[in-house]
Structure 1
Amino acid sequence: MSGSLPSRTALPPHPDPAFERFARLVRRQLDVPVALVTLVSVDEQVFPGAVGLPEPWQSTRCTPLSHSFCQHVVRSAAPLVISDARTEPLVADNLAIPDLHVIAYAGVPLTGADGVVVGSLCAIDSRPRAWAEDDLAVLTDLAEACSSELQLRQAHQRADEVAAQARQLLAEQEVDRSRFSLALTAGQVGTFDMDLATGELTVDDRLLELSGMDRAGFTGRPEDVYAHVHPDDVTDVMARVEHAVSTGGTYDAEYRIVLGDGFNRWLAARGEVVGAADGAVRRLVGVVHDITPQREPYEQAAQIVDEMAVGFLGMDTDWVITQVNREGERIAGFSREQLVGRTLWEAFPATVGTTFEEQYRRAVATGRPVSFDAYYPEPLDVWVEVRAVPGPAGLAVHFVDITTRALGQLQAERTAARERLLGRITEELVGTLHADEAAQRLSRLVVPAVADWCIVTIADDDQAAGSRRGLRTAASWHSDPAMRDTTAAYAQARLSSLDDDTVLIEAMRSGQPQLIDAGATAQVGGMYPAGPVQELMGALAPEAVAVLSLPGRDGPVGILSLANGAGRGAFTPEDLVTARHIAARSGLVLDNARLFRQQRALAEGFQRSLLTPPAEPDHLQIAVRYVPAGQAAHVGGDWYDAFMQPGGATLLVVGDVVGHDVAAAAAMGQLRSIVRTVGALDHDGPAAVLRQVEQVMQTLQSAILATTVVARLEQTEEEKAAGLTRLRWSNAGHPPPMAVTSDGAVTVLAAERADLLLGVDPAAPRREAQVTLGWGTVVVLYTDGLVERRDCDLDAGTARLRATLAELAGRGLDELCDELLARMLPDAPDDDVALVAVRLHPQDRPRPAEAGPNRIPPNVPPAG
């Protein structure tokens, strides 16, 4: 409910340590620049607790009401929350806005001992702020504790006033003792009087009651009272009494009395040494009153902090630990007695130079809270989530034990990393069907991901699974570049020293991993005879070794040897699981490579058996090439041919049967035989050859589909004398041939459009085109595997071929063919490639040596 302003404030305008502490707590917990404990009267407001006020207000601790927001809290007896004072009509004209930089304000009432609102606990920001519910809840809790302190102070004042009355009565002996007794009773205050000469203690019934004693059990000695003081407080109480006696000054103490029901009662005691200096009549007299109602909220708040599930560590500006709660003790592994009073760096030396120190110093330097996760090593061995909040009094650190969560996350990250490694290994290895290249890739992937160094050993294709015969080192690798040559030398040398006792042979024989957890240098070295192998093993100095077979379909196809040095130590269970997966996948890839080699050798051998050497007429040099596809199943459909007709003309043929397998190779053999048979007779030209080939295929009911080019080199005596040769060709749906002159001019030998491929329509028209060529010209016929790839279309490939031929013009024919294939084809071609090239050498001089011997059929007349 609303009220009026008090006629005077409850305390003078001086800094008070207790209220200063509440102001610091508000500033720290709500992260505001200014926090105040404010008491308001009809004339002014004072700040017994204040942090962050600008000068001169911080020094004077007093302002007129023209600067007071808190007067509204007192009048309304309710909290006042303002996000932006400049737009709030209630305080829009208040001078605190420009003078004290008050923009955002949150104030909660402070009540005195009689329940009347006398001030507020407030948080002030110099910029607009939307106050969170948690902010207001914290401010309310602290205001309750602050009100308790205020009420306690008022009770002390009341007690001091009573004590002053008592001293006055004793000194002047003019006031009746009954009035003093009545005053003490009215104030619910107990009294004590101790004779410092004899140590005899005189107390009234009220003090006995407050101290949990009765008259019958009281002997008149101070020890009777001390026996009921809480064990944690008794030493402090006795020290304060002794200090007052020794200095002749005042006695001031707050302590707990342990009651019979197990509860505690808080008492406040005030006293003073009076009497002659000689000690004859010196006495310590004073009063005691119950402050439990005022202390309970404060103690409850402290208990809440102490029992929080979040660890708390408070430090002053010199990094000295001032507060630790129970959870903080548990996580830190030390009691608060061991921590309080020590600097952070002394109590937690592993903090120095780590993320902890970096983040703590950043918070203090910037004045802003920081949050982070970090690991503290042995002896704590704990992961913590930390929030460090800086303030004028120092740094407050809140931390939570997240070890279980962090370890789970680390395990998940390790699992994900292992899956990424396995995925990369699979991707890398399936990208090649060459065993040695796969082994090289494997060695560089497992080091250093799984081991410090490794050796990959594979078995030859013709050796029985699990046999040590035919083993050879395919790859080795070491994480230390300086040790790679040593690793390679050991990998080669050890094979000559293998016997049935070595872990390699046992891994091959059993198919089970062989593991040496520690001392591997001595154990493995002892399996070899004295000599270079032992010396190399000593230089490598492995601490742990794991040997795994690489399983194939019919048994091991190789061995993966992994080793760690002393720094890395034994393989973890996760390492071994990863190694087993790697071995299984690698074995499958190497087995596939072996099967590919076998199938490719079979198909390629069959393919090459169908291709015969070309004829070599005197004035022509003919070169042929065949490149199988990168995959064994794609071998088989392409062919070339070059032969002479009885009349002396030379036929050049290149073709491609539809399909990529052994069946396509067989079909190619049939079609090639038909073309050779028909073409080996004299005809009018290439088109006639293709027409008769179609007739033969129809008669034989062949289902073959193929593209082909048949070209014929012919010459009259006049053309020969002029150094010219005619090329006539017919194209059945095939890529066009190309002619290259020695100066690099390239002509694409393409008709307006190609005819239909063979095997579709026996009646399809077959047309011819011709061109006259000079001496030195090279004609190239090829299949589509040379120009067509997955990553580019046929037109782009044809343009690339034309440009490459222009660059290679003038080179020897064999060199031109080899370089052309090297530039145009990838390492593993998608399709097989057949190529036939012919160079027209001058006929007015002998056949050049580079063209090789002249080779023509016996029924063909020699040229000239």
Structure 2
Amino acid sequence: MTARRLDDQARLDALARTGLGPVPDPVFDRFTAMVRTVLKVPVALVSLVDASRQVFPGACGLAEPWMGERQTPLSHSFCQHVVTSAEPLVITDARRDPRVESNLAITDLGVVGYAGMPLTDADGMVLGSLCAIDAEPREWTPDELSLLADLAAACSDSLRLRVATRSANRREHAAEARERVAGAAFERSQLLLRASVALAGTTTVADVVDAVRALLAGSLDPDYLGVSLIESGQVSLQSGPFLPPRVADRWRRYPRTAGTPSALAAVTGVPVLLPDLAAVAAQTPDALATFDEMGWQSGVSVPLPGAAGAMGALTMTWKQPHTVDAVELAVLAALAGYVAQAIQRADYLYSREQVATLLQQAMLSELPDASPFGIAARYEPAVRGEHVGGDWYDAVRLGPDQLALVVGDVTGHDMAAATRMGQLRSMLRAYIVDRHEPPSALLRRLDNAAQILGDPTPVTAILAYVQAEADGYRLQWSNAGHPAPALLLPDGTVSPLAGRDMLLGVGQRTTRTNHSHPLPPGSTVLLFTDGLVETRTDLIDDRKSKLYAVLGGLASAPLPDLLDEVYTRMAGADHEDDVALLALRTPTP
């Protein structure tokens, strides 16, 4: 991007070529509507800035009279700073920001929180900004700014397409030709708008391929759309399911030096245009046999831009000769940029999910040898979020016939919750091993330590000791705001182990109590987190009754099978919260 003065003539000429002014434009109004909806702000603007004013061809949520006038003087312009710096402008509270604290937009338009991204033409000239405005102070998150930047890139592409279309229109002499070009450009701009939205929701490379195929159906309407990536010096085909198996197997992975459209575009970083079979034979001879086999007559392959050069290629083929014109090529280049961003985001999400999974596995203890007791555990993250969370279970062997059992739940199911959970779990583990005190005393120590260390995150937890006594076994526990454990007797009778105190993290030096209950031989204790029994739609008492009914038929089931059955019938594959389960069974004579 190129920073210029507001009155720079080259920049003013570039603005004039857009043909945009203080008049609503449906394309740019849609951009602002998308920004307002996705970022949940009251106002969004497409602002173009000249030497004396800013105009809003796109606006959503702006108050009158500004909405009707679609322009303001520079005394009311934050966007001018985006133009002169050629950089995003992010403001939490304009009233306290020295760059804009005297700007009249604060009082006249109610601008307090502001985030603006540059809008550029094909030469990198900054013409204005796509901005999100809040009437209150706003801490903009990295995800919000990334999404706004993606939408600004799409908006810039629409500006460029508009300029290209206007230039084409000026070169056309016949009215019918002008209408055709304008209609095609409008449709392509709508394609890019749809692409920016559709690709924003993808999380895997397969999702990206499916989204692009759906977008191009009925538009460029290729017979085949392929995505290939460069991996370890080779071309890896990502769209094999849309080819016959024999063809997909042939091109699943091959050297980047091969003469194919995808390899050539990815290696050179330049679009490969194949208007007919003669061009295929001349430029990409290794692909000619496949073109003949599939009945393709033409194709195009555009590079997918990456940080260190092309990361792959987006390829289309048709069953008739097809010449890609300049407007189509611009659209395909922009689309390839969106596809590349979506693939990079999918790779990031996959890597993050893998790291999160490994983190959760590392934080959850391996169960000790608990003989003579039986013991089993299971953890399942929420289906939404980062596949990692704040639920945990733990078991510590304290002697030949004594175990400590823990189940807890830190609010949230993300990396922050998992990190907090790891800290609490480690502290409680140390207390259990080092302090031979009742469960209530250890939970009180944990609560005090957490609050002294400055993290008041609400936490529920239950700590229980099971130990042998003269005539069997006994469970002693203290419960900090956690769901009551369930006791399953050998005859199928199920009852809650009641008694609960305040959860951790909400009060100083909270009084905590101990409870105890005998455990007959062959009885089972199930500790669980609230994700097992709480939903947004069902009454909690109904869910607990269902749990007890499920448990009643599992008195003799092996503990791993019992946990599988409880999880499947109570939570299933679409549960909204993390679920941790820990079961212990006393030995039979």
TM-score of the two chains, using structure 1 as the length reference: 0.41
Q: 1:813 aligns with which of 542, 559, 563?
A: 559
Whole-Å separation in 2 of the counterparts to 1:417 and 1:743: 70
Aligned to 1:836: 581
Which amino acid is 2:479 matched to?
N
Residue 453 of structure 1 aligns with which residue? 224
In the TM superposition, residue 452 of structure 1 has moved relative to its aligned partner by 1.0
Give the match for residue 200 of structure 1. none
Mapping of residues 437-836 of structure 1, within 5 Å? 437-443=207-213, 446-447=216-217, 450-459=221-230, 468-469=233-234, 471-476=235-240, 478=242, 484-492=244-252, 495-499=253-257, 501-519=259-277, 522-523=280-281, 527-528=285-286, 535-552=289-306, 555-566=309-320, 569-571=322-324, 576-628=329-381, 635=388, 637-646=390-399, 648-658=401-411, 662-680=415-433, 683=436, 685-697=438-450, 705-719=458-472, 725-739=473-487, 747-751=495-499, 754-773=500-519, 777-785=523-531, 792=537, 795=540, 798=543, 802=547, 805=550, 809=554, 812-818=558-564, 833=578, 835-836=580-581
Structure 1 residues 841 and 756: CA distance shift in structure 2, 3 A: closer
Aligned equivalents of 1:588 and 1:826: distance in 2? 33
In structure 2, relative to structure 1, the CA distance for the partners of 1:818 and 1:504 (3 Å cut) is farther
User: Larger Rg: 1 or 2?
Assistant: 1
Offset at residue 710 of structure 1 (A): 1.5
Give the Cα–Cα distance (whole angstroms) in 1 for the partners of residues 581 and 178 of structure 2: 66
Q: Is the 8 A contact 1:710 1:729 kept in 2?
A: yes
Matches of 2:241 and 2:364, distance apart in 1:
43
Q: How far off its partner does 1:613 sit?
A: 0.8
- Counterpart contact for 2:401–2:468, Cα < 8 Å: no
Q: 1:526 to 1:764 in 2, by over 3 A?
A: closer
CA distance in 1, matches of 2:517, 2:390: 29
Would the alpha carbon gap of residues 640 and 499 (structure 1) be closer, same or farther in structure 2, given more than 3 Å must change? same
Contact 1:774 1:840 in 2 (8 A): no
Partner of 2:91: none
Residue 641 of structure 1: SS of its match in structure 2? strand
Alignment of 1:12-161 (within 5 A): none
Cα distance between partner residues in 2 of 1:641 and 1:437: 38
1:784 CA drift (Å): 4.3
| Structure 1 counterpart of 2:20 | none
Indicate the residue corresponding to 2:150 in structure 1.
none
Contact 1:622–1:838, Cα closer than 8 Å, also in 2: yes
Counterpart-to-counterpart distance in 2, 1:839 and 1:717: 20
Offset at 1:709? 1.8
Equivalent residues in 2 for 1:350-429 (5 A)?
408=179, 412=183, 415=186, 419=190, 429=199
C-alpha separation in 1, matches of 2:539 and 2:470: 40
Counterparts of 1:681 and 1:580 in 2: how far apart (Å)?
Answer: 64
Structure 2 residue aligned with 1:205: none
Which string of whole-angstrom CA distances, capped at 9 and with x for unpartnered residues, describes residues 688-746 of structure 1? Answer: 32123234446666655422122333342323xxxxx5444322223444455688766
Shift of 1:665: 3.8
- Partner letter of residue 477 of structure 2? W
5+ residue gaps, structure 1, are 1-402, 720-724, 845-864
Report 1:306-325 matches (<5 A). none
Does 1 or 2 have the higher relative contact order (CA < 8 Å, sep 6+)? 2
Distance 2:246 2:188 in 1: 30
Q: Is the 8 A contact 1:788 1:797 kept in 2?
A: no
**2:471 aligned partner, one-letter code:** E
Q: Give the superposition deviation at 1:408.
A: 4.8
Distance 1:525 1:508, change over 3 A: closer
CA distance in 2, matches of 1:456, 1:427: 19
What is the alpha-carbon root mean square deviation over aligned residues?
4.4
Question: Which whole-Å CA distance do the structure 1 matches of 2:469 and 2:391 have between them?
Answer: 33
CA distance in 2, matches of 1:413, 1:804: 63
CA gap 1:703/1:410 in 2 versus in 1, 3 angstroms? same
Q: Which amino acid aligns with 2:265?
A: A
Displacement of 1:792 = 4.8
Aligned length: 414
Distance 2:565 2:279 in 1: 50
**1-side partners of 2:293 and 2:282: how far apart?**
13
Deviations 1:425-473 (A, max 9, x none): 555544452334443454455456531112222355xx5xxxx33x433
- What's the CA shift string for 1:270-290, capped at 9, x where partnerless? xxxxxxxxxxxxxxxxxxxxx
Look up the SS of the partner of 2:501 in the other structure.
coil
Structure 2 vs 1, CA of residues 413 and 537 (structure 1 numbering), >3 Å: closer, same or farther?
closer
CA–CA distance in 2 between the matches of 1:677 and 1:513? Answer: 62
Q: Structure 1 pair 787/588, CA: closer, same or farther in 2 (3 Å)?
A: farther
- Structure 2 Cα separation of the partners of residues 763 and 520 of structure 1: 83
Partner SS, residue 446 of structure 2: helix
1:487-534 Cα offsets, whole Å, 9 max, x none, are: 533442xx3254164432332234443221111795289532xxxx76
Once residues 543 and 301 of structure 2 are traced to their aligned partners in structure 1, the CA distance between those partners, rounded to angstroms, is 51
Partners of 1:620 and 1:839 within 8 A in 2: yes
Aligned counterparts of 1:742 and 1:405: Cα–Cα separation in 2: 85
> Distance between the aligned counterparts of 2:497 and 2:557, measured in 1?
21
Contact conserved, 1:521 with 1:542, CA < 8 A, in 2? no
Q: Distance in 2 between matches of 1:792 and 1:666?
A: 30
* Identity in percent: 27
Cα deviation 1:228-272 (Å, max 9, x = unaligned): xxxxxxxxxxxxxxxxxxxxxxxxxxxxxxxxxxxxxxxxxxxxx
**2:501–2:513 Cα contact (<8 Å) kept:** yes
State the match for 1:21 in structure 2: none
Change in 2 beyond 3 A, CA 1:544/1:659: same
Kindly provide the amino acid, as one letter, of the partner of residue 261 in structure 2: V
Structure-2 change in CA distance of 1:588 and 1:534 (3 Å): same
Alignment TM-score, normalising by the size of structure 2: 0.57
Q: Which amino acid aligns with 2:236?
A: R
What code does the residue aligned with 1:758 have? L
Choose 586-595 or 681-690, whichever is displaced more.
Answer: 681-690
Q: State the 1:611 CA deviation.
A: 2.8
Q: Kindly state the Cα deviation for residue 820 of structure 1 after the two structures are TM-superposed.
A: 5.4
**What SS does structure 2 have at the residue aligned with 1:505?**
helix
